[in-house]
Structure 1
Amino acid sequence: MEVIKVLDDLYKFNHSIPNVPINFNQFLFLGNEPMLIHTGNHNMAKDLVPKLKEILGEKKLSYIFVSHFEGDECGGIDLILEQYPDAHTICSKTTSMQFNGFGFNYDLLIKNPDDTLEKDVYSLKFISYPSEMHLWEGLIVFDTKRNILFSSDLIINFDNIDEQIINSTIEAEINAITERQIPSPKALEIIKHVLSELPIKYIASGHGPFIKLHK
């Protein structure tokens, strides 16, 4: 696992798996109420916990954001919550139902599309994300203070697996979103339009490098 400080108050944790042509990222927002974005799967979370403790020190983790119910997004949540039992897990209503269906009794904070969360370091707007092949409604997050899009599986970069930070354009990244990520032409068109209307400067992707955008 590599730990990269991509911005003054934002860390990226990058996991790679041998012979798997994709990497897996989690992010940590600092501030008075730190937030972890995704947990990684169970094995990734084992490596992640000591790094969180090192960075946070005596601070508690306030929030864990889960964009959708999948192993690399929340498979390690039990290990994280063992260490930070007071953390609130933020997710969509659909994801909360999936947690409950598996008997997970976490402190869930349900957010709907267009809801916000204002804190000292980050100001988050939640965006509807029709995740995975079943198009269950998940969420992606846009931080309006630094114009960072946390794109989950929506934006994936297979070609830069060894690069931690790259430059790109929003047009290129939006155009790269295909029916492989959103298997519905209508839903794909909607989310591309939503993203094109946002003043995005950075993309914190769930898989691939941290992306700095330029015109």
Structure 2
Amino acid sequence: MTAIDEIAPDLYRISIYVPEFDMQFNHFLVKDDEPLLYHTGMRSMFPLVKEAVAKILPPDQLRWIGFSHFEVDECGSLNEWLSVAPNAQAVCSEVGAVVNMSDFALRPAKGMTRADVLETGKYSYRFIPTPHLPHGWDAGVMFEEKNKTLLCSDLFHHNGNQAAVTEADILEKVRLTLRFIQQTPLNNYMPYTGKTAGMLKELADLGPKTLATMHGSAYNGNCVQALLDLNAIMKEEQDEE
């Protein structure tokens, strides 16, 4: 089940719902002078995501392919996209570019450090490193400065076939999803560390107006408070390290 929705100006959410997992996998396409695809999706989903991208712009016009951290739903089909789009380059954290992409990607990735900005034309995406949040040494997020959209990866993960965007509270759904995962072999999904609160506060200080979540609805409510409240939920529901 694939759905395409414009959740912010020129930002399209391409969502694939997998009933077996009761989970949405969301990919975000920025339509601009230098188009950006954020989250490649798994290799098995590549044909579906490519078909959806083609409804918005020719896939070979992609210039940037971004992701938060090295994981199959984040960058599993990266090389398929690099093959389709000859001018495209992966963009991720500097750690990810050195540690993972130097061997995994068909072409060198653009590694970003704190406060680096990726210009796509009308839009500017500021990179914020978030090591081990949601998980992985190489993790980071991107913040679009004009419309104040935070591409926040697995943060605010909530299961179910959700609406594309909502202003209703999502935090209870996030809590229930984290609690469920903690009871499975996949526990310690987003371990709470001594640096978690500070990183979430840094993201809140950006003043986002939309949270573009990888699993679940994008959120258009009080995003600043949601990020601060997420800290408490993670601390309560995840194993502290």
1:186 and 2:194 equivalent?
yes
Contact 1:40–1:73 (CA under 8 A) maintained in structure 2: yes
Moved over 3 A (4+): 131-135, 175-182
Alignment of 1:101-120 (within 5 A): 101-102=103-104, 104-120=105-121
Q: Quote the residue 2:125 is aligned against.
A: 124
* In 1: Cα distance, 2:163 partner to 2:68 partner: 24
Q: Tell me how far 1:47 sits from its aligned partner.
A: 0.9
* In 1: Cα distance, 2:59 partner to 2:167 partner: 35
Kindly tell me the number of residue pairs found equivalent between the two proteins. 211
Q: Secondary structure at the match of 1:33?
A: coil
CA RMSD, 1 decimal:
2.7
Alignment of 1:1-215 (within 5 A): 1-57=2-58, 60-96=61-97, 97-102=99-104, 104-131=105-132, 135-158=136-159, 161-168=161-168, 180=188, 182-214=190-222
Q: Secondary structure at the match of 1:27?
A: strand
| 1:132-158 Cα deviation digits (max 9, x unpaired) | 686413210111100000000122122
Gaps spanning 5+ residues in structure 2: where? 179-186, 226-241
Q: 1:128 to 1:182 in 2, by over 3 A?
A: farther
Q: 1:200 to 1:52 in 2, by over 3 A?
A: same
Q: Which amino acid aligns with 1:209?
A: S
TM-score scaled by length of structure 2: 0.78
Q: Tell me how far 1:120 sits from its aligned partner.
A: 2.3
Contact 1:41–1:74 (CA under 8 A) maintained in structure 2: yes
TM-score scaled by length of structure 1: 0.86
Q: Secondary structure at the match of 2:95?
A: helix
Q: In proportion to residue count, which structure has more strand?
A: 1
Contact 1:26–1:40 (CA under 8 A) maintained in structure 2: yes
Q: Secondary structure at the match of 1:106?
A: coil
* In 2: Cα distance, 1:72 partner to 1:57 partner: 22
Q: Tell me how far 1:118 sits from its aligned partner.
A: 2.7
Contact 1:113–1:139 (CA under 8 A) maintained in structure 2: no
Q: Tell me how far 1:165 sits from its aligned partner.
A: 1.3
Gaps spanning 5+ residues in structure 1: where? none
Q: Tell me how far 1:180 sits from its aligned partner.
A: 5.0
Contact 2:90–2:108 (CA under 8 A) maintained in structure 1: yes
| 1:163-204 Cα deviation digits (max 9, x unpaired) | 22111469x59x969895542431211112112211110010
* In 1: Cα distance, 2:64 partner to 2:156 partner: 23
Q: Secondary structure at the match of 1:82?
A: helix
Q: In proportion to residue count, which structure has more helix?
A: 2
